Structure 1
Amino acid sequence: MSDLSLLNVGNDSSLGKVEIAPEVLEVIAGIATTEVSGVSSMRGNFATGVAERLGKKTHGKGIKVELVEDAVIIDVFIVVDYGSTIPTVAKKIQSNIRQAIINMTAISIKEINVHVVGMHLEPKIDTENSSS
Protein backbone atom coordinates (compact mmCIF):
# COMPACT_ATOMS: atom_id res chain seq x y z
CA MET A 1 0.00 0.00 0.00
CA SER A 2 1.43 3.38 -0.95
CA ASP A 3 -0.37 5.38 1.74
CA LEU A 4 1.78 5.31 4.88
CA SER A 5 -0.76 6.95 7.17
CA LEU A 6 -1.88 5.12 10.27
CA LEU A 7 -5.39 4.60 11.58
CA ASN A 8 -6.18 6.09 14.97
CA VAL A 9 -8.11 3.69 17.17
CA GLY A 10 -10.49 5.02 19.79
CA ASN A 11 -10.12 8.30 21.60
CA ASP A 12 -6.85 9.73 22.82
CA SER A 13 -6.45 8.97 26.50
CA SER A 14 -4.03 9.94 29.20
CA LEU A 15 -1.97 6.87 28.32
CA GLY A 16 -1.43 7.93 24.71
CA LYS A 17 -2.92 6.88 21.40
CA VAL A 18 -3.06 3.68 19.40
CA GLU A 19 -2.34 3.72 15.69
CA ILE A 20 -2.68 0.75 13.36
CA ALA A 21 -0.90 0.51 10.01
CA PRO A 22 -3.07 -0.40 7.01
CA GLU A 23 -0.82 -3.42 6.42
CA VAL A 24 -2.16 -4.88 9.67
CA LEU A 25 -5.69 -4.70 8.28
CA GLU A 26 -4.46 -6.41 5.10
CA VAL A 27 -3.12 -9.34 7.12
CA ILE A 28 -6.28 -9.64 9.22
CA ALA A 29 -8.47 -9.51 6.09
CA GLY A 30 -6.25 -12.01 4.28
CA ILE A 31 -6.44 -14.57 7.06
CA ALA A 32 -10.20 -14.06 7.48
CA THR A 33 -10.66 -14.62 3.73
CA THR A 34 -8.68 -17.86 3.59
CA GLU A 35 -10.87 -19.29 6.38
CA VAL A 36 -13.94 -19.23 4.09
CA SER A 37 -14.69 -22.49 2.29
CA GLY A 38 -14.90 -22.05 -1.47
CA VAL A 39 -11.88 -19.73 -1.63
CA SER A 40 -9.20 -21.53 -3.63
CA SER A 41 -6.55 -18.82 -3.47
CA MET A 42 -5.98 -15.11 -3.44
CA ARG A 43 -4.36 -12.99 -6.12
CA GLY A 44 -1.49 -10.72 -5.33
CA ASN A 45 0.75 -8.59 -7.45
CA PHE A 46 4.15 -9.46 -8.96
CA ALA A 47 6.05 -8.44 -5.80
CA THR A 48 4.05 -10.77 -3.53
CA GLY A 49 4.61 -13.62 -5.99
CA VAL A 50 8.37 -13.08 -5.94
CA ALA A 51 8.39 -12.78 -2.13
CA GLU A 52 6.50 -16.08 -1.78
CA ARG A 53 8.96 -17.84 -4.08
CA LEU A 54 11.76 -16.61 -1.85
CA GLY A 55 10.08 -18.17 1.17
CA LYS A 56 8.34 -15.15 2.68
CA LYS A 57 4.69 -15.78 3.48
CA THR A 58 2.47 -12.84 2.56
CA HIS A 59 -0.82 -12.91 4.48
CA GLY A 60 -1.97 -9.62 2.92
CA LYS A 61 -1.80 -11.07 -0.60
CA GLY A 62 -4.90 -10.24 -2.63
CA ILE A 63 -6.04 -7.50 -0.23
CA LYS A 64 -6.03 -3.77 -0.88
CA VAL A 65 -6.83 -1.38 1.98
CA GLU A 66 -7.69 2.20 1.12
CA LEU A 67 -8.10 5.06 3.58
CA VAL A 68 -10.50 7.69 2.23
CA GLU A 69 -11.59 10.59 4.45
CA ASP A 70 -11.82 8.66 7.74
CA ALA A 71 -13.31 5.64 5.95
CA VAL A 72 -11.70 2.27 5.32
CA ILE A 73 -12.41 0.48 2.06
CA ILE A 74 -11.13 -3.06 1.54
CA ASP A 75 -10.85 -4.80 -1.84
CA VAL A 76 -10.37 -8.58 -1.87
CA PHE A 77 -9.20 -10.44 -4.99
CA ILE A 78 -9.96 -14.18 -4.91
CA VAL A 79 -10.07 -17.35 -6.97
CA VAL A 80 -13.07 -19.54 -6.09
CA ASP A 81 -13.39 -23.30 -6.26
CA TYR A 82 -15.54 -24.64 -9.08
CA GLY A 83 -18.97 -25.57 -7.77
CA SER A 84 -19.02 -22.93 -5.04
CA THR A 85 -21.86 -20.44 -5.01
CA ILE A 86 -20.07 -17.15 -5.66
CA PRO A 87 -22.58 -14.80 -3.92
CA THR A 88 -22.57 -17.01 -0.81
CA VAL A 89 -18.76 -17.16 -0.71
CA ALA A 90 -18.54 -13.38 -1.19
CA LYS A 91 -21.01 -12.67 1.63
CA LYS A 92 -19.13 -15.02 3.97
CA ILE A 93 -15.87 -13.25 3.12
CA GLN A 94 -17.39 -9.84 3.80
CA SER A 95 -18.85 -11.03 7.10
CA ASN A 96 -15.63 -12.77 8.20
CA ILE A 97 -13.46 -9.76 7.42
CA ARG A 98 -15.81 -7.27 9.09
CA GLN A 99 -16.08 -9.41 12.24
CA ALA A 100 -12.33 -10.08 12.46
CA ILE A 101 -11.38 -6.43 12.05
CA ILE A 102 -13.99 -5.20 14.53
CA ASN A 103 -12.93 -7.84 17.08
CA MET A 104 -9.20 -7.16 16.71
CA THR A 105 -9.04 -3.42 16.08
CA ALA A 106 -12.46 -1.81 16.82
CA ILE A 107 -12.24 -0.10 13.41
CA SER A 108 -15.45 0.06 11.39
CA ILE A 109 -15.22 -0.65 7.69
CA LYS A 110 -17.16 1.35 5.11
CA GLU A 111 -16.94 -1.18 2.26
CA ILE A 112 -15.61 -4.67 1.61
CA ASN A 113 -15.55 -5.32 -2.13
CA VAL A 114 -14.97 -8.90 -3.29
CA HIS A 115 -13.51 -9.33 -6.77
CA VAL A 116 -13.64 -12.85 -8.20
CA VAL A 117 -10.71 -12.95 -10.61
CA GLY A 118 -10.68 -16.65 -11.42
CA MET A 119 -12.08 -20.10 -10.85
CA HIS A 120 -10.09 -23.13 -9.75
CA LEU A 121 -11.05 -26.31 -11.57
CA GLU A 122 -10.12 -29.55 -9.86
CA PRO A 123 -8.45 -31.99 -12.23
CA LYS A 124 -10.80 -34.81 -13.10
CA ILE A 125 -9.84 -38.20 -11.72
CA ASP A 126 -10.23 -40.78 -14.44
CA THR A 127 -11.50 -43.86 -12.61
CA GLU A 128 -12.32 -45.85 -15.75
CA ASN A 129 -8.74 -46.04 -17.05
CA SER A 130 -6.99 -46.48 -13.73
CA SER A 131 -6.11 -50.01 -12.79
CA SER A 132 -5.63 -51.21 -9.24
Structure 2
Amino acid sequence: MKDNSLLKMDHEDTHLGKVEIAPEVIEVIAGIAASEVDGVAEMRGNFATGVVERFGKVNHGKGVKVDLADDGITIDVYCVVTFGVSIPKVAASVQENIRQTLLNMTSLSINEINIHIVGIQFDTKAQEVQIDEEM
Protein backbone atom coordinates (compact mmCIF):
# COMPACT_ATOMS: atom_id res chain seq x y z
CA MET A 1 0.00 0.00 0.00
CA LYS A 2 1.27 3.46 -0.81
CA ASP A 3 2.14 5.51 2.26
CA ASN A 4 -0.13 8.47 2.98
CA SER A 5 -2.07 7.93 -0.21
CA LEU A 6 -5.65 9.05 -0.43
CA LEU A 7 -8.37 7.87 -2.76
CA LYS A 8 -9.73 10.73 -4.81
CA MET A 9 -13.42 10.52 -5.50
CA ASP A 10 -14.57 10.70 -9.11
CA HIS A 11 -17.88 12.49 -9.09
CA GLU A 12 -19.53 15.50 -10.58
CA ASP A 13 -17.55 18.70 -10.28
CA THR A 14 -19.48 20.87 -7.83
CA HIS A 15 -16.79 23.56 -7.49
CA LEU A 16 -16.96 23.06 -3.73
CA GLY A 17 -13.68 21.21 -3.41
CA LYS A 18 -12.36 17.70 -3.58
CA VAL A 19 -13.20 14.59 -1.58
CA GLU A 20 -10.46 12.16 -0.57
CA ILE A 21 -10.79 8.96 1.44
CA ALA A 22 -7.92 7.49 3.47
CA PRO A 23 -7.25 3.75 2.99
CA GLU A 24 -7.80 3.28 6.73
CA VAL A 25 -11.40 4.37 6.24
CA ILE A 26 -11.85 1.64 3.62
CA GLU A 27 -10.39 -0.86 6.11
CA VAL A 28 -12.84 0.18 8.82
CA ILE A 29 -15.86 0.06 6.50
CA ALA A 30 -14.84 -3.37 5.17
CA GLY A 31 -14.14 -4.68 8.68
CA ILE A 32 -17.53 -3.64 10.01
CA ALA A 33 -19.30 -4.99 6.91
CA ALA A 34 -17.53 -8.35 7.28
CA SER A 35 -18.35 -8.56 10.99
CA GLU A 36 -22.06 -8.05 10.25
CA VAL A 37 -22.32 -11.31 8.28
CA ASP A 38 -23.84 -14.29 10.11
CA GLY A 39 -21.23 -17.00 10.50
CA VAL A 40 -18.28 -14.65 10.98
CA ALA A 41 -17.16 -15.21 14.56
CA GLU A 42 -14.37 -12.64 14.62
CA MET A 43 -11.82 -10.84 12.53
CA ARG A 44 -8.19 -11.86 12.78
CA GLY A 45 -5.64 -9.13 13.27
CA ASN A 46 -1.93 -9.16 13.93
CA PHE A 47 0.02 -8.94 17.17
CA ALA A 48 -0.17 -5.14 17.30
CA THR A 49 -3.97 -5.07 17.05
CA GLY A 50 -4.16 -7.65 19.83
CA VAL A 51 -2.03 -5.48 22.12
CA VAL A 52 -4.08 -2.38 21.33
CA GLU A 53 -7.34 -4.22 22.09
CA ARG A 54 -6.00 -5.28 25.49
CA PHE A 55 -5.90 -1.59 26.38
CA GLY A 56 -9.57 -1.24 25.52
CA LYS A 57 -9.39 0.32 22.08
CA VAL A 58 -11.50 -1.39 19.42
CA ASN A 59 -9.92 -1.60 15.98
CA HIS A 60 -12.72 -1.91 13.43
CA GLY A 61 -10.21 -2.34 10.61
CA LYS A 62 -8.77 -5.45 12.25
CA GLY A 63 -8.31 -8.32 9.83
CA VAL A 64 -8.56 -6.14 6.72
CA LYS A 65 -5.75 -5.15 4.37
CA VAL A 66 -6.34 -2.63 1.58
CA ASP A 67 -3.94 -2.52 -1.36
CA LEU A 68 -4.08 0.52 -3.61
CA ALA A 69 -2.55 -0.25 -6.97
CA ASP A 70 -2.64 1.47 -10.32
CA ASP A 71 -5.15 -1.08 -11.61
CA GLY A 72 -7.56 -0.65 -8.68
CA ILE A 73 -8.30 -1.55 -5.09
CA THR A 74 -7.77 -5.02 -3.65
CA ILE A 75 -9.07 -5.94 -0.21
CA ASP A 76 -7.91 -8.96 1.79
CA VAL A 77 -10.11 -10.01 4.71
CA TYR A 78 -8.91 -12.43 7.40
CA CYS A 79 -11.70 -13.90 9.50
CA VAL A 80 -12.70 -16.77 11.77
CA VAL A 81 -16.00 -18.51 11.09
CA THR A 82 -18.40 -20.25 13.42
CA PHE A 83 -18.29 -24.05 13.43
CA GLY A 84 -21.02 -25.64 11.34
CA VAL A 85 -21.57 -22.87 8.79
CA SER A 86 -21.06 -23.26 5.06
CA ILE A 87 -17.70 -21.58 4.49
CA PRO A 88 -18.30 -20.85 0.78
CA LYS A 89 -21.67 -19.24 1.56
CA VAL A 90 -20.26 -17.15 4.40
CA ALA A 91 -17.30 -16.05 2.26
CA ALA A 92 -19.60 -15.06 -0.61
CA SER A 93 -21.85 -13.15 1.81
CA VAL A 94 -18.83 -11.32 3.24
CA GLN A 95 -17.65 -10.36 -0.25
CA GLU A 96 -21.09 -9.12 -1.27
CA ASN A 97 -21.68 -7.19 1.96
CA ILE A 98 -18.30 -5.46 1.72
CA ARG A 99 -18.81 -4.64 -1.96
CA GLN A 100 -22.31 -3.26 -1.40
CA THR A 101 -21.39 -1.28 1.73
CA LEU A 102 -18.35 0.32 0.09
CA LEU A 103 -20.35 1.14 -3.02
CA ASN A 104 -23.12 2.76 -0.95
CA MET A 105 -20.80 4.71 1.33
CA THR A 106 -17.99 5.71 -1.03
CA SER A 107 -19.10 5.03 -4.63
CA LEU A 108 -15.84 3.12 -5.07
CA SER A 109 -15.74 -0.06 -7.08
CA ILE A 110 -13.35 -2.72 -5.86
CA ASN A 111 -11.30 -5.00 -8.12
CA GLU A 112 -10.97 -7.90 -5.70
CA ILE A 113 -12.23 -8.86 -2.27
CA ASN A 114 -10.23 -11.88 -1.13
CA ILE A 115 -11.54 -13.79 1.88
CA HIS A 116 -9.06 -15.76 3.99
CA ILE A 117 -10.65 -18.12 6.52
CA VAL A 118 -7.97 -18.44 9.19
CA GLY A 119 -9.85 -20.36 11.86
CA ILE A 120 -13.03 -21.92 13.16
CA GLN A 121 -14.61 -20.95 16.46
CA PHE A 122 -16.49 -23.56 18.42
CA ASP A 123 -19.42 -22.53 20.59
CA THR A 124 -18.03 -23.91 23.86
CA LYS A 125 -20.66 -22.26 26.08
CA ALA A 126 -23.50 -24.02 24.27
CA GLN A 127 -21.64 -27.32 24.57
CA GLU A 128 -21.08 -26.76 28.31
CA VAL A 129 -24.78 -26.00 28.88
CA GLN A 130 -25.80 -29.10 26.96
CA ILE A 131 -23.42 -31.29 29.01
CA ASP A 132 -24.74 -29.81 32.29
CA GLU A 133 -28.33 -30.50 31.24
CA GLU A 134 -27.53 -34.14 30.46
CA MET A 135 -26.12 -34.70 33.96
Same fold (TM over 0.5): yes
Unaligned runs of 5+ in 1: none
C-alpha displacement at 1:3, in angstroms? 2.7
State the match for 1:17 in structure 2: 18
Task: Please give the alpha-carbon distance, in whole angstroms, between the structure 2 residues aligned to 1:104 and 1:72.
Answer: 15
Which amino acid in structure 2 is aligned with residue 8 of structure 1?
Answer: K
Cα RMSD over matched residues? 1.4
Indicate whether 1:5 and 2:11 are aligned. no
Tell me what 1:104 maps to.
105
Deviates more, 1:4-13 or 1:29-38: 4-13
For the 8 Å contact 1:11–1:17, the answer to whether it is kept is no
Q: Does 1:48 align with 2:54?
A: no
Aligned to 1:119: 120
Report matched runs for 1:49-64 at 5 Å. 49-64=50-65
Paired residue total: 129
What TM-score, normalized by structure 2, do the two folds share? 0.90
Return the offset for 1:16.
1.7
Amino acid at match of 2:9: V
2:48 partner SS: helix
Give the secondary structure class of the aligned counterpart of 1:17: coil
Task: State the TM-score, normalizing by the size of structure 1.
Answer: 0.92
Aligned twin of 1:28: 29
Matches of 2:36 and 2:134 in 1, distance apart? 35
Q: Shift of the alpha carbon at 1:25? A: 0.4
Higher helix share: 2
C-alpha contact 1:43 1:79 (8 A) present in aligned 2: yes
Residue type matched to 1:39 in 2? Answer: V
Report the residue type matching 1:107 in the other structure: L
Where structure 2 has 5 or more consecutive residues not aligned to the other structure, the ranges are none
CA deviation after TM superposition for structure 1 residue 46, in Å: 1.0
